[in-house]
Structure 1
Amino acid sequence: MSRFPIMKATFPDPSLNPRQISSHLARHLKWLRARRAGVDLSKEERHWPIEGEESERIRLSLDDMKRVDRHAVRLHDGVLRRTGLSHLNREDRQNLSSLKNGVALARISSLDHADELAARLHGEMPWMAPATEHAWHAMRRSVREGWAGFRMPPVILDGPPGIGKTYWVRRLGALIGTAKVDVDATGENASFGVVGCQRGWSSARPGRVLECIMAKLTGNPIVMIDELEKAGSVKSGRDQSFGLAEALLPLLEPSTAADWSCPYYRVRFDMSFVSWILLTNSLSPLPEPLLSRCMILRLQEIGLPDLISFAQREGQGRGLSETSIWSVTEALSRVAPAAPSRPSLRTVLRMLERAADLENKSVMT
């Protein structure tokens, strides 16, 4: 499989360090002096020291070596400048070296494959149909356009809590076979934890998205940001505001995402294959520039029939006994339609986990 060149920088030949360059230059200078001195050296005979008067005319003095070393450093600096990595220290270049051969991209093999994945996702969570349809169209377009990997336009899933938005994103990533980055917007320090920040801040880091790409060597992870509307912002000493929503803007636009500059490394990356899924319970606090860059899908409450069907399928998938599955579905079916507190998908998952714990406990005793 071909690798995707996500980093817009190159790594120099490891042998092109100042010491090696200096050695090559000194050797070449000795060779030139030997020729001028009339010493006939073939390619295979470039061995020193040379005996006699010629050795004095060929030998490099301490001043010669200082000049050679200075020239070697200048040449090496020029090589680094052309790579786009000259401003980084050795540790940073080492950290980024994992990307020098590119990264893998999860891809959809065919239109039939896209249809199969979408049908499976819809069968598991039919109440999430608008989101599944959005992903399905993205899968099919990835195949039709001949893209190197799967990419999905940024989407906002707006709906009440507890309907399974997070679970749906997790299943989408598992079915496609790509890495996933989970971000709780209420717990992140503005944009810093997601896209990184410049050095000088106490929390300086590359950002979780780039860290995932470097660790998993994948160029199209799915990034899920939960409760985006609750993300705060911080201010610098110059009274500049750094908010998560504003930091996402260049990454949500395909043209700017393809040439995105990491504020930590100050190196450009092609992030156009990253899929962004933003989860909200309310759209009102979000800025218009962010809303205009995303497909907005409004989701409805999950009904009891869907919850019961999900509990049956998930229970079977977890290998629970028929008795345990019946107990969970029976408890759900007894919820009054007009009850003030309705169970959510989160409730069902907890019930299934509890049933599994009880089964394992009975086996152990």
Structure 2
Amino acid sequence: MPKIRFILSKQPDPALEEAAMIKRLKEFYTDLQDKRQISDGIPQEERAAYNELWHYPQNELPKALEMRIRRWAQKIHRHHLQEVEPTRLSREDRAMLEGCRDGADIFDLRSAHHIDEIAAGLHVEFPWISEATTHVWRSLHHNLKAGMPGARFAPILLDGPPGIGKSAWARRLAQLLGTPDMIVDATSENASFGLVGSQRGWSNAGPGRLVSLMLMRQVANPLVIIDEIEKSGTPMSDKGRSFSLPNALLPLLDDLTASRWTCPYFQNQFDMSFINWVFTSNSQWGLPEPLLSRLRVVSVPSPTQEQINDLVLREAAKRQLSPLITAAITTALAGAFEVGHQINIRTVKRMLDSGLDQQDRPILH
């Protein structure tokens, strides 16, 4: 799995801490003395007699040598700190960053055939979301042909009625790509704090869910699902500052700014340009134009009766439902379509679960 440089700001190196440098210099001195003794041709059985003259345990070096080693260590550590950016991070915060010091993994595409298999799987399971599947398929092929690393596609907004499988499509896409996914419910997490974090000095200061996920999994291209973005709202602070989720997302959706995004909490720059974004909405009304201009908007229709029937047959087979119960569900759905009802995926899942309960119910004697 390839890696990219994820943390762009240079981090303090634990190996160049003063205590670590003192230990290494003492070990170097001891090893050097051993090599000098061997080069002097002293037989091994006679070396012990000379140890008292020049060889000391690491914690019992002469005082003058101890002071010289400490000064060297302090000088090396001081020069190192001049090369890194100023930081007020705690030991725990630095430990979080340590795992990505040498880069973060990116889930890659095996071949053009692999992309075709992903698209084919989505088309079979979600035929009514074919336009979004085609968009992802084309984006992945374009990036693969251009030699760009990682499974990455342009941000997309799925706009359509509730309960038609928009979020399920996004989660299934993450499974097929093999990348970690994260769902943000904009209805309950309508402020920017939860996703991108908050600055130090606030009582609830902390890293956001997005950076925390990437640091914990050490992955640079997760798939992030922002569910029902139109319901995010605009939370305000007591001082009148806005913490809108759409506004906080704007720099993360533009390649130029996302490639050098500064985390409010860590105050370090990260390369967030490999993240895959899927937004869902039930209506575009009220969404800010700067956000819409960064997204490929796809209008998702409700599934047709034929597509619903195919879904019922697939899910019934997974649940091992009897043909009798499956036929009863399809008949009931056909009657609902005839009288003009719009059937969504949630209704179908409830009917299938109810059918499974009926099938597993013990026979009463």
Q: Please give the TM-score of this superposition, normalised by the length of structure 2.
A: 0.83
Q: Distance in 1 between matches of 2:83 and 2:151?
A: 31
CA 1:162/1:20 → structure 2, altered by over 3 Å: closer, same or farther?
Answer: closer
Shift of 1:132: 0.9
CA 1:189/1:205 → structure 2, altered by over 3 Å: closer, same or farther?
Answer: farther
% identical aligned pairs: 38
Q: Distance in 2 between matches of 1:290 and 1:258?
A: 18
Contact kept, 8 Å, 1:109 with 1:143, in 2: the verdict is no
Q: Distance in 1 between matches of 2:77 and 2:361?
A: 65
Q: Which moved more, 1:324-333 or 1:218-227?
A: 324-333
Report SS of the residue matched to 1:301: coil
Q: Please give the TM-score of this superposition, normalised by the length of structure 1.
A: 0.83
Q: Which moved more, 1:109-118 or 1:168-177?
A: 109-118
Shift of 1:171: 1.2
2:44 alignment partner in structure 1:
none
2:342 alignment partner in structure 1:
342
1:289 alignment partner in structure 2:
290
Alignment of 1:121-136 (within 5 A): 121-136=122-137
Contact kept, 8 Å, 1:198 with 1:204, in 2: the verdict is yes
Shift of 1:361: 4.2
Report SS of the residue matched to 1:277: strand
- Is residue 2:132 matched to residue 1:143? no
Shift of 1:332: 1.0
- Structure 2 counterpart of 1:266, one-letter code: Q
**Residue by residue, what CA displacement relative to the aligned partner does 1:186-232 show, whole Å, maximum 9, x if unpaired?**
11151111111112334333212222222322221111111111112
CA 1:234/1:94 → structure 2, altered by over 3 Å: closer, same or farther?
Answer: same
Listed as ranges, the gaps of 5+ residues in structure 1 are 30-40, 52-57
**Residue by residue, what CA displacement relative to the aligned partner does 1:83-130 show, whole Å, maximum 9, x if unpaired?**
447432211111122222333222222222212221221121111111
1:111 alignment partner in structure 2:
112
Q: Distance in 2 between matches of 1:295 and 1:227?
A: 16
Q: Distance in 1 between matches of 2:25 and 2:219?
A: 41
Q: Distance in 2 between matches of 1:353 and 1:85?
A: 57
Q: Distance in 1 between matches of 2:330 and 2:118?
A: 27
Shift of 1:246: 0.4
Instruction: State how many pairs are aligned.
Output: 346
2:43 alignment partner in structure 1:
none
Contact kept, 8 Å, 1:85 with 1:93, in 2: the verdict is no
**Residue by residue, what CA displacement relative to the aligned partner does 1:47-99 show, whole Å, maximum 9, x if unpaired?**
99769xxxxxx9546xx977975774464244245344743221111112222
CA 1:289/1:319 → structure 2, altered by over 3 Å: closer, same or farther?
Answer: same
1:302 alignment partner in structure 2:
303
Alignment of 1:326-365 (within 5 A): 326-339=327-340, 341-362=341-362
1:211 alignment partner in structure 2:
212
Report SS of the residue matched to 2:164: coil
Q: Please tell me the root mean square deviation across aligned C-alpha atoms, in Å.
A: 3.2
1:3 alignment partner in structure 2:
3
2:223 alignment partner in structure 1:
222
**Residue by residue, what CA displacement relative to the aligned partner does 1:248-305 show, whole Å, maximum 9, x if unpaired?**
0010001111111111111111111101111111212111111111111112222222
1:266 alignment partner in structure 2:
267
2:173 alignment partner in structure 1:
172
Q: Distance in 2 between matches of 1:134 and 1:117?
A: 12
2:18 alignment partner in structure 1:
18
Q: Which moved more, 1:75-84 or 1:301-310?
A: 75-84
CA 1:187/1:28 → structure 2, altered by over 3 Å: closer, same or farther?
Answer: same
Q: Distance in 1 between matches of 2:126 and 2:266?
A: 40
Q: Distance in 2 between matches of 1:230 and 1:97?
A: 36
Q: Distance in 1 between matches of 2:75 and 2:320?
A: 66
Q: Distance in 2 between matches of 1:334 and 1:84?
A: 67
- Structure 1 counterpart of 2:318, one-letter code: G
Contact kept, 8 Å, 2:2 with 2:108, in 1: the verdict is no
1:93 alignment partner in structure 2:
94
Q: Distance in 2 between matches of 1:326 and 1:203?
A: 54
CA 1:84/1:311 → structure 2, altered by over 3 Å: closer, same or farther?
Answer: farther
Shift of 1:336: 4.2
Contact kept, 8 Å, 1:245 with 1:290, in 2: the verdict is yes
Q: Distance in 1 between matches of 2:319 and 2:197?
A: 38
Contact kept, 8 Å, 2:89 with 2:266, in 1: the verdict is yes
Contact kept, 8 Å, 2:2 with 2:107, in 1: the verdict is no
Report SS of the residue matched to 1:241: coil
